[in-house]
C-alpha cells in the first residue's frame, strides 16, 4: 500500500476518515470547513461521537474531500486500543463498501499525543486484507479491486520523526500479520514442514544479521529428539526443527527465544478427531507462522536485541507406522514419556524444541505460542489466549504488551498439583491425565511443557482460541488464521528494547 502525508483535508482526497471522540464533538474542534459541514448533524444529535457510530457525508463545499466519514470513539477518557482498532477497521470497511481505493485518515494533534493512535492505522490496515487466496476469474478480480491501495495520513500539524517512525512500524507489523494469516490459511498440501523451512531460509538470505539452522530427520535422530520423531512417524513428510537467530550486534548476549508449534496438519492420530474438529487443522501451525512473522518484523524494524525464533514442524497423521497410545518416547532432554493420547501431540514436539532452546541458547526469556488445547477455548473463549509460566516478571511484561495491542491474555494456574498429574506410571511423564477427563486441560498441557524448561524464565501462550477464532473481530479476515500474537510479540520486544536502552 502507498502511504503519503498531508497537513490539510483537501478536495483532491476522494474519501477521508475523521475519527472523533465525544469531547471533540461537544467542543466542535474540527477543521474549520468540516465544523461548518457537520454542525447541523451534531445539533440534531445525528452524530454524537459514540463508540462505533458513523456518519458519511458527501460535501459540496470546495476544498473538502468528495466523501467524509466520521467515526465515533466514545468518551475520550475511555478510548482503548481495542476501540481504536475497531474504529480503524470500521472506517476502512466503509471505504471498501464504497469501492474507494484511495483513503485519507485524519489524525488531529490532540489524538497524536496518545501513544496508541497508531492502532487506528493498525485496524484500518488489518481490515484491508485479501482473504480469498484461491478464488479465480471475475470474482477474484472484483475482490482484489475492493482493496484500498493508497492511504494518506492527514494531520493539522507536521508529523514528528517519532510519529512517522510509529506509522512505519504499524505498516511493517500489520503486513507481517497478513503474512502469518496467509500461511495459516493455506492448505497443508502446500504448507508442509519443508515449505516452512523454505520460508525461513528466504528470510535469512535477505538479512545478513539473520542466520538459519534447520535440522532434518537424520539430524533430529542423531540428537535424540524422540518426541518430534514419534509424532512424525505416521507422515511421509519429514519433520524439521527450524531456528532463526537475529543478532544485529553479533554479540554473545542471552537471547529472547520465541518458540512456535508447527503441526502442519493435525488429524489427531489414532485418537482421531471427529468431523467438525479436523477441518481447520491445517491451522495448527499458527504458532510457527507467528514466529516467522515476528522474525520478519524484527529484521525489517532492525530491533536492537538478539532474538531467536524456533519452531518444530511435522504432520500428525495416521498410517501403519504412526505412534500409538501406550507408546513410550524418549525426549531430547532424556526424559521418557508415556503416550496416553496421540491428539496431545503439540506438547510433545514443543517439549523437544523447548529443551533444545534451553540447552543451546540459555535464553534470557523463553516464550512459546501454541494452538495447544481446546480446553483453553472452553475456559476463556476465543478472544483470550491463556498465559502460564514460571516467571512473574516476564508474564507481567507480556500483559503490558497485551494491554497495548488489544491481543488479550489471561493468566491460568500452573502449580505443583498439575505437575503431579503429569507424572508417568512406567515412564517419567505422561502426555495426558485421563482421570481428570476434560478438566484443566490448558494447565495440564503447560505443566507438561514446564518439565522441559528447567530454571529458565518461561511463559506459555495457549493461542488455540484467538489464533483460529470463528467469532471474528471487525479487523479479522474471514479465513482460518487471524495472525494473533504477531503484534503482541513485536510490542513485547519493543518494550524490552526500550527498557534496555
Positions marked catalytic: 273, 347
Q: Which residues contact 58 (CB under 8 A, 6 or more apart)?
A: 66, 67, 68
For residue 277, how far is the Cα from the chain centroid? 22
Rg of the chain over Cα atoms, rounded to whole angstroms, equals 24
Question: Which H or E run contains 385?
Answer: strand 384-389
Torsion, CA 420, CA 425, CA 431, CA 434, rounded to 10? -80
For residue 27, the SS3 value is helix
CA-closest candidate to residue 369, choices 389, 355, 342, 396: 389
C-alpha cell at 191: 504448507
**Region label for 406, one of left (φ > 0), alpha (ψ between -120 and 50) or beta (otherwise):** left
Residue with cell 491460568: 412
| Residue listed under C-alpha cell 524422540 | 226
Report residue 15: phi and psi, to 5°. -145, 120
- Give the C-alpha separation, 393 to 56, whole Å: 46
Among candidate residues 3, 2, 19, the one with its CA nearest the CA of residue 117:
19
Residue 400 CA to residue 493 CA, distance in Å, equals 11
The three-state (H, E, C) secondary structure of 206-271, written as one string: HCCCEEEEEECHHHHHHHCCHHHHHHHCCCCCCCEEEEEEECCCCCCCCCEEEEECEEEEECCCCC
Backbone angles phi, psi at 352, to 5 degrees: -65, -40
Residues with Cβ < 8 Å from 426, sequence gap 6 or more? Answer: 328, 338
Length of the chain: 501
| Strands 336-338 and 328-330, bridge-based pairing | antiparallel
Amino acid at each position: 500500500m502507498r502511504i503519503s502525508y498531508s497537513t490539510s483535508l483537501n478536495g483532491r482526497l476522494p474519501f477521508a476518515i475523521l475519527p472523533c471522540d465525544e469531547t471533540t464533538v461537544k467542543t466542535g474542534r474540527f477543521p474549520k470547513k468540516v465544523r461548518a459541514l457537520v454542525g447541523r448533524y451534531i445539533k440534531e444529535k445525528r452524530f454524537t461521537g459514540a463508540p462505533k457510530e458513523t456518519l458519511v457525508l458527501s460535501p459540496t463545499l470546495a476544498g473538502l474531500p468528495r466523501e467524509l466519514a466520521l467515526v465515533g470513539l466514545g468518551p475520550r477518557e475511555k478510548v482503548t486500543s481495542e476501540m481504536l482498532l475497531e474504529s480503524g477497521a470500521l472506517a476502512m470497511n466503509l471505504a471498501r463498501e464504497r469501492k474507494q481505493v484511495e483513503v485519507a485518515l485524519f489524525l488531529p494533534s490532540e489524538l497524536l499525543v496518545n501513544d496508541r493512535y497508531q492502532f487506528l492505522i493498525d485496524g484500518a490496515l488489518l481490515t484491508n486484507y485479501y482473504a480469498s487466496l484461491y478464488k479465480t476469474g471475475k470474482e477474484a478480480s472484483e475482490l482484489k479491486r475492493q482493496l484500498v491501495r493508497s492511504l494518506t495520513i492527514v494531520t493539522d500539524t507536521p508529523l514528528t520523526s517519532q510519529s512517522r517512525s510509529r506509522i512505519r512500524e504499524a505498516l511493517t507489523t500489520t503486513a507481517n500479520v497478513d503474512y502469518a494469516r496467509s500461511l495459516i490459511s493455506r492448505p497443508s498440501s502446500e504448507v508442509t514442514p519443508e515449505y516452512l523451512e523454505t520460508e525461513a531460509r528466504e528470510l535469512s538470505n535477505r538479512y545478513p544479521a539473520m542466520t538459519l539452522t534447520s535440522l532434518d530427520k537424520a539430524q533430529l535422530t542423531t540428537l535424540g529428539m524422540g518426541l518430534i520423531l514419534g509424532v512424525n512417524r505416521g507422515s511421509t513428510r519429514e519433520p524439521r526443527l527450524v531456528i532463526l537467530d537475529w543478532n544485529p550486534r553479533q554479540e554473545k548476549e542471552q537471547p529472547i527465544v520465541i518458540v512456535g508449534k508447527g503441526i502442519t496438519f493435525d488429524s489427531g492420530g489414532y485418537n482421531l478427531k471427529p468431523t467438525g474438529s479436523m477441518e481447520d487443522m491445517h491451522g495448527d501451525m499458527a504458532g510457527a507462522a507467528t514466529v516467522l512473522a515476528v522474525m520478519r518484523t524484527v529484521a525489517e524494524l532492525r530491533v536492537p536485541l538478539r532474538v531467536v525464533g524456533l519452531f518444530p514442524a511435522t504432520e500428525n497423521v495416521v498410517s501403519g507406522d504412526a505412534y500409538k497410545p501406550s507408546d513410550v518416547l524418549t525426549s531430547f532432554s532424556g526424559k521418557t514419556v508415556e503416550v496416553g493420547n496421540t491428539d496431545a501431540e503439540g506438547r510433545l514436539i514443543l517439549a523437544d524444541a523447548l529443551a533444545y532452546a534451553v540447552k543451546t541458547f540459555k535464553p534470557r526469556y523463553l516464550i512459546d505460542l501454541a494452538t495447544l488445547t481446546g480446553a483453553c477455548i472452553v475456559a476463556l473463549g476465543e478472544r483470550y489466549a491463556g498465559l502460564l509460566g514460571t516467571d512473574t516478571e516476564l508474564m507481567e511484561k507480556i500483559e503490558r504488551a497485551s494491554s497495548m495491542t488489544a491481543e488479550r491474555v489471561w493468566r491460568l494456574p500452573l502449580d505443583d498439583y498439575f505437575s503431579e498429574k503429569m507424572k508417568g506410571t512406567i515412564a517419567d511423564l505422561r502426555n495426558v491425565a485421563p482421570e481428570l477427563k476434560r478438566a484443566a486441560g490448558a494447565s495440564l498441557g503447560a505443566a507438561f511443557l514446564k518439565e522441559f524448561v528447567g530454571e529458565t524464565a518461561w511463559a506459555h501462550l495457549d493461542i488455540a482460541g484467538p489464533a483460529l477464532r470463528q467469532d471474528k473481530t471487525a479487523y479479522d479476515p474471514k479465513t482460518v488464521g487471524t495472525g494473533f500474537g504477531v503484534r503482541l510479540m513485536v510490542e513485547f520486544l519493543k518494550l524490552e528494547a526500550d527498557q534496555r536502552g
